[in-house]
Structures are given as C-alpha cells and as structure tokens.
Chain A
Amino acid sequence: MSADATCSCPTPDTYAAKDFRSTLKPIWCPGCGDFGVVSAVYRALANIGRPPHEIAFISGIGCSSRIPGYTTAYGFNTVHGRALPIAQGIKMASPELLVLAAGGDGDGFSIGGGHVPHAIRRNLDITYLVMDNQIYGLTKGQLSPTSARGTKTPSSLYGSIEDPVNPLLYVLAYGAGFVAQGIPGDMDGLAKLIEEAIRYPGFSFVNIQSPCVTFGNPENQVKAQKAKMKKLADLGHDPTNRLRAMDLASAYSTELYTGVFYKNPNPPETYDSHIKQMQQDLAPQAKPLDQLLPLAT
C-alpha cells in the first residue's frame, strides 16, 4: 500500500488554506497556541486536497476540542474523552472519509486515556492531534495528566505529588505507526507534520505542545518554545528507528523535540481495509432479508 492511500483524490492545489476556515469565531484567549494549530490544520488539509465535506473532524471536550467548529469540515464536538471511539465508529461506517480526531491532554490522556491503546492496536486510518498544554484551561487551571511533578494549581495548591503521563512514550509503547511532535510557533513544521500524519495509512499521532496563555507556565509560551525546540531532523534522527524514538521520547519533560519520532516504514494493513475485505468476502453469504432466520427442519 502506498503512503498516499488516504488521499487518492484531487490534485493538491485544488484547495487553499482559507477554504477550510469557518466563519465561527474562536473562543480561545488571545495568544493561545491553538490558533496556530488550527492554522496548521488548514494548511495541511489544503495540501492534502480532499474537499471539506469529505472530512470528519471529531473532538472531545476542552478548549482545544472546539477546533472542529473552526473548520469547514463536518465537525463533531462530542463528550469528554470519547473522541477516539466516536472517530473509529465514523471511520468503520464510512471508510472513504478522512477522519481527524483532536483534543487536549486531559481529554486524551486522563478521562479518555483508556481508549488510546485500543485505537492504536486496532489501527484504523485516522489521525489524532493532541493539543498538550499541561493544564486544564477550560475549567480554569487545574492539574492535568501531563503537568510536571510539583506544579501548583488550584487543584494542587501544595504542588503536584504525582508524575505526569509521557504521551509520546505512551503511544510509542502501544505500537503506534506514526508518532510526531510539533509546536504552533513552528507553523511550517507543524503543518507538514499534520499533513504527513494524515498521509500515513494507519493510526497516526501528533502531540502538539500548544501553550495555554492564561493558566500555563509563563516561561513556556509560543516564543519561548520556538527558542527551545530542537528539530529531530537536525539531530540526524532516523524515524524508522523505534527504539531510538523511545529514547528521545523519554526526554518529553526536559527537551522540546519536534518532528517525526517514529514512522513505520512498512505500515501494516489497516482495520478499515480488513473490514472492506470481510464485507466483500462474506457478501455472497447474505440471505434474503425475509429469510434471515432458518426454519427448523
């Protein structure tokens, strides 16, 4: 299967980024990293070239989960933590759609954390974007699953006494075929990563360190991130080397690596293609609908 299997349709230059921007005004605070993320999504989708109505964009609950409404795709702003199972249901029912799922670190790694390993091992051809800001912004600044140990918040007044989840290591350990990290400060890089994730034929994951301007660490905002980031490509990282990728991912809390950590050079058959095959193989066994239950003989 070619790496471009998801987008066999129009020529890439049919759409411009603005074609994916809706008229809805974002509720995000000025300076929020998510503005950059949605712009990167517009660019990536324009490069992919699928028309907006063939895209289903699913999210959970949180600031970042508002993102589908800011696109011209079919959006589904669901309930907290359930973007992935809903996205999988959509992809299974309509495999021809381009399916994107998105949400925050709380949505994906706390309340919805139980769904991530299963989405990965099932391997439907969907792309999951997590806007990781290490805080609960919408509920006004509580501790999140990716908050660093010691973080003081209204729900951890004396400093967090638990270790954070490492999203990169987590998805790599579960066997995701495509794992990347980007930042909105590097718009070009992020748009390319999202595009590459969408083109990957299977479950793909992009962790986007998208800072919270209101409740996040003031020293970890868009500009500071840009200065801190280290491009994996510049480090000479080979994205087909999964063990090395896990090594680099271990530095999640200390280093800000951007780029592709891991990309399976031999993507396995996806769940959705198995379904298609089973439907084709089993169709001849279909009985007339008025004879579904056999007579006792």
Chain B
Amino acid sequence: MAKERHLLEKKGYLDAKEIIMLNDLIIGMAGSGGDGIVSAGESLISASAKEGYFAILTKSFGSQIRGGESSCRLRVSTLPVLNPGGTLDVAVVLNWEDFLRFGGELPVGPETIVIYEAKTKVAPDAVPLKVKPATVLAVPLEEMAIKAAGTELAKNNVVLGLLAGWFGLAQKAIIEGIHKKFAKKGADVLAGNDRAFAAGLEYAAQNPFAQDKRLSPPAPGKHASKVLTDGNEMIGAGAIFAGCKFFGGYPITPASEIMQYLQKELYKYGGSVLQAEDEIAGVAAAVGASFAGKKAMTATSGPGLSLKTEVLGLSSLAELPLVCVNVQRGGPSTGMPTKPEQADLFAAAFSSHGDTVRPILAPIGVADCFEVTVEAFNIAEQYQTPVIVLSDQEIAQRKEIVDPVDTSKLSLVDRLRPNAQELENYTRFKLNDTGISPLSHPGMKGGAYLAAGIEHNEKGSPTASGEMHAKMNDKRLNKLNPLKRRQDLFIIEGDADATIGLIAWGSIAGVALEAVRITRAAGIKVKVLVPKLVYPVAEDIYREFFVGLNHCIVVEQSHQGQLHKIIRMWVDTPKGFTAFAKSGANPITPEEVVQKIRALAS
C-alpha cells in the first residue's frame, strides 16, 4: 500500500482515498472480430460464475457473419442482476471506430473509466466521445501482448489482467478459465497467455487510479453454486422439465439455440426433434405430436411467427395444447435479426383469423425462462390451447449467472384425459361449465374422434350451424378466463399508495424494476406492475393497480408501445397513462426511467 501511495503521489494523484467497494460493476469492451473482446467477456463471466457472483454478459456484433466489429458488456454484481445496466463504469476500447459503432449500446458517462489502446494514437484529452470522462487512460495493449506472448492475439489477456488488477476481479478463476480454453493449444500458448495476463496485472499495479474501486466479494456461502446460461438454453431445459416430448422447428436467429439444445438433449428423455423443411411444417408437426397425446413445442422468431399463424389457429380450434416460443427480434420482415425488440406483441395476440384468444407469457430475464416455459406447458395442457412465450433476443442470447432453478416449487399439469366411463360414449368437445373437455389420443380405445380445423359439434363432427359455432366460441374463449385472475403471473412492487406507476414486460421489466428501486431509495413513492401473463389482458389486476395513480408509464421496446395500446383496449386507464417506448436496439436504461419518474415526482 505504501508503494502504491508513493506511485500515486509521483503521478500527481495526491488525493488518494480509501478504496471504494462496489456491489455492481459494468464493463463494456469493443474491438474488431480478431481482438478477442467477446472471448475476454466470456472468460470474465465464467470466472465470476465460479466465484459466486451474479452477472449478465451481452454480446453485440456487426451484421457480418464472421469478423467485423464486436463488443460485449458485462455487468457483474453481488446481487441478482436485473438488466445489463446503462452507463458503463469501465470502457475498454481496442479501436475507436469499432467502439463508436455500438453507440447507445456502450454509453460512456462522466464517471466512466476509459481504457484504450495506445496504438490508436489519440491523445487522452482528444478521445472522440460526446462526454468528457474523468479518467481516460491509453495503454499499449498490443505492445504488451507482443512483448509478453510474442503475439498480438494475447492482447485480450492483457485486458483481463488489467481489469483483474484494477477492479479486484477473480484472478485465479480467470487464469483457470484461460487454461481450460487454451488447453489444446499446447504449453507454449498457455505460458504466453499467462505472461500476457501477468503483464496486465503488473501494469494495473504500477498505474493505479486516483480513486481505487474494487468489486466486493460475492455473498458468503454462495461459492460455486451458480448456473451460467442463457435464455434459449433455459427455455429448452424448462421444456424438458415440463415433460415436452416433441419439438418441431426451423433454424432462425435468434431462436435456433432452443432447437439445438433440444436436439442434443430431448432424445435422452424419450422425446424427439424435427428440424422441419419450413416454419409451417415445424409447428404443424408439433400440433401432430400433441394430437398424438404428447407435450409439444415449436420455437421461432418474428418471420416464423407470421408463417405459423394458420397452424396456431388450428391448435386453437382443435383445442390441442401447444407451446410456441417466439424470440422477438427487430421487425417487420427480416428487420434486425440480431437485435432485441418487443414489437411482436400485436402479432402474437392478434395474428389469427376468427375469434381467438391465445395466452401469451413473457419471461423477464434468463432466470425465469425456465419456469415461464414450464408455466406455458401447464397452461397449454390445462386449457388445451396454444400458448405463446414471448422472449426476446436480449434474454435469449445474453449469458447470465443465475441461481439454480428451485424445481421443488414447480408443479406439472397434464391435459384432462377421458376416464373409462367417458370413453363409453366419448364426446370430445363436450360443453360444460369449465369449457375444458377430456382429450383422448390415438391408441386410446373408445376415444377415436375427428379432430379438425373445421367448426364441429360436441362429438367433433363438422358443422355449419351458427348456434353451435357460438357455443364453441364461448367454450374456447371463456375457458381462459380463470387465467386473468392468476396473481402469481404478475410482479407488483413498490408503494401501494404511490401516485406514479410503471408497467413493463419482458426484458425491459428488469430495467423498470431497478428504476423503481433506485427512486424509492431516494424517497419517491412509486410502484411497478410486471405482467408475465401479457395476454389475455387481466382487467381486474390492472384496474386495481391503477387505483390512486396520477401517472402511469408503460415502458417498452417498440415504436408503437404495443402493451400500452393493448391494455387500453380492455381497461379504462388513468389520465396520465402514457408509453415510454423506443424502437428495438435502442437500449432503455434504468437511468432514463429514473429521470422519467423524477420528472413526474417533482
């Protein structure tokens, strides 16, 4: 410490203070494809997971299939992380052009510590940023890499060494991770990477910041009990847990990993996966599997959802359970396949001809993808209906450290099947109070019936009777009403007597929740409602939430503010009911939402 103080004095940083311990650190890095920036981010999150931290790693790429600019942002915390965060605490710039291309995805503020490649020859007081960060440091990354490892390829390990040294990140776990990653490359490469990492550490020790900031150690007792995963994998695992036995789909960004995970895993649990010839065949095969009595799923993204809609209608009319995951990306049409957006809500809710209601569930982060998927299967089976899960690119593809799923609190629902007595004179679409009639499947003696996309009577025979059509519409729509009373599918947080409210869903919910926590900590009364059941609209739950509100902002990532509009279709909303909505790929940060709340409170 004495030596450090000496160095500080020597460099003119005379006001060295106590070390600030952080519970939360946001690091953003950008470079060209070959710089290994994303790989460095992965090393950091793996190490953080081993140490017992929580974290979110989001990766972002240019539109090139290989190469081009790439970036990542890591938010690591001692507490569960709700969203990737806003302004960076630390920015690592390997190349200014690449860094600037990510714009709002890597926002730099006055407090950000900016570390950049000295080779870029930009003077610290002339960095091309809109704000003037207090700390800007040029580091000869490439030079250090070549000197330590004989190759510029090692510069990402220099970066890791710097970050570990400056911010107290898990050194041992990072080195172990690097060794695991490069194990096959031989002893020379390993030694070179070790030296590069050590050079970074050394540099950090020699060049301390005016204000030393360190990440607090993880919560005790949590060591090595975390899961490092992403939303797509969690959905796949949730499906297996739920008892899914069939998946039909077609490759599409950013949903393909669900199919890939299930292709690898589902056979182990007695199921199978069809990579179909197109999106329609994928969902059609899943409806077939459901007709055959098995729990079935398909997954896609926007364009695929458009193609699947007719078969989703078949699932509604034939009352066959089905889970359809739609990982939203920028749209319409091809849109922005690698960027998140929440603009498929209208499509999910309304893209069916005829009078149809199909439940829509939305996870708010990687952590709840598993149980939302299980819930989707439960609702599909319970109500014999298609259920759409609206995930998004952000949740689907970001890496996140989460607690292991506590499966003991999850229960599984299977469809109502006919008993022996009901099979004596089987009536597939029997009208009753619940609207839920026993569903047989091929192989069940006495249960044979005609499933169809055509309107039918109680026995399943085709009909053109208006009276019967009205009765069957009643059955199919009213059976879903109990869902609207499922309080457990809604998160409500904050002050019950608040006059300011927020509503947010999907990946933006975590932003709203954090904003509410920050503003409440500052003494502002505010509350937030997060629907995991996005549709049908749970009128009573919204009405109750609106009581006492003078202002209510729906925060969402779509140009039109789709949830804002859908709520208004069903519920009389308070006077100050507005949307704070942005098109996809324009991050909404907790800071922005905090500002909105503050403006309303003042």
Contact = CB atoms under 8 A, between A and B. Distances in A.
Interface of A: 24, 51-56, 58, 61, 66, 68-69, 72-79, 82, 84-90, 92-94, 96-97, 114-115, 117-118, 275, 278-279, 282-283, 285-287, 289-290, 292-297
B245 interface: yes
A90 B448 contact: no
B50 to A, nearest CB: 5
B50 A297 contact: yes
Q: How large is the interface on B (under 10, 10 to 19, 20 to 34, 35 or more residues)?
A: 35 or more
B450 interface: yes
B234 A293 contact: yes
Contacts of A55: 442
Interface stretch (B84-92, B132-140, B280-288, B491-499): B280-288
B371 to A, nearest CB: 13
Interface in B371-401: 401
Most buried by A among B248, B313, B450: B450
A89 B270 contact: no
Contact of A286 (B50, B224, B268): B268
27 contacts: A53-B448, A61-B453, A68-B450, A69-B452, A74-B440, A74-B442, A74-B449, A75-B452, A76-B450, A76-B451, A77-B454, A79-B310, A88-B281, A89-B284, A89-B287, A89-B288, A89-B291, A89-B296, A90-B289, A92-B272, A92-B274, A93-B246, A93-B293, A93-B294, A283-B268, A293-B404, A295-B224
Contacts of A297: 50, 224
A166 B248 CA distance: 30
Contacts of B448: 52-53, 72-75
Given A53-B443, A85-B285, A296-B49, A282 B267 contact: yes
Contacts of A61: 453
B278 A114 contact: yes
Given A74-B449, A89-B296, A290 B408 contact: yes
A45 to B, nearest CB: 13
B240 interface: yes
B577 interface: no
B281 A53 contact: no
B534 interface: no
Interface in B260-300: 265, 267-272, 274, 276-278, 280-282, 284-289, 291-294, 296
Given A69-B462, A82-B280, A279-B270, A293 B227 contact: yes
Nearest to A292: B237
A237 to B, nearest CB: 32
Given A69-B450, A275-B272, A88 B288 contact: yes
B289 A76 contact: no
A279 B233 contact: no
Most buried by B among A55, A90, A114: A90
A193 B439 CA distance: 34
B258 to A, nearest CB: 14
B50 A296 contact: yes
Nearest to A297: B224
Nearest to B284: A85
Contact of B288 (A58, A66, A73): A58
Contact of B291 (A73, A86, A114): A86
Nearest to A94: B292
B300 to A, nearest CB: 15
A53 B447 contact: yes
Q: For chain B, what secondary structure do more than half of its interface residues adopt (helix, strand, loop), or is it mixed?
A: mixed
A232 to B, nearest CB: 31
B305 interface: no
Nearest to B282: A85
B272 A90 contact: no
Given A24-B450, A79-B311, 7 more contacts: A56-B292, A85-B288, A89-B287, A93-B294, A96-B443, A118-B277, A279-B270
Contacts of A58: 288
B49 A78 contact: no
B102 interface: no
A118 to B, nearest CB: 4
A66 B462 CA distance: 10
B404 A85 contact: no
A93 B287 CA distance: 10
B228 interface: yes
Contacts of B450: 24, 68-69, 75-77
B314 interface: yes
B368 to A, nearest CB: 14
Contacts of B228: 296
B407 interface: yes
B7 interface: no
B276 A53 contact: no
B445 interface: yes
Q: Ordered nearest first, which 5 A-B pairs have the shortest CB separation?
A: A89-B288, A89-B285, A296-B49, A93-B289, A85-B281
Contacts of B50: 296-297
Contacts of B407: 289-290
A296 B311 CA distance: 40
A78 B450 CA distance: 10
Contacts of A74: 291, 440-442, 447-449, 451
B550 interface: no
A90 B442 contact: yes
B405 A293 contact: yes
A88 B274 contact: yes
Contacts of A289: 240-241, 407
A30 B277 CA distance: 38
B19 to A, nearest CB: 27
B284 to A, nearest CB: 4
Contacts of B296: 89, 93
Nearest to B440: A74
Contacts of A117: 277
B444 interface: yes
Interface string B231-259: 00110010011000110100000000000
Given A114-B278, A115-B281, A77 B452 contact: yes
A279 B272 contact: yes
Contacts of B405: 290, 293
Contact of A86 (B277, B288, B462): B288
B229 interface: yes
A75 B292 contact: no
Contacts of A295: 224-227, 404
B227 A97 contact: no
Contacts of A292: 237, 240-241, 265
Interface in B317-353: 318
A115 B293 CA distance: 23
Nearest to B239: A292
A287 B268 CA distance: 9
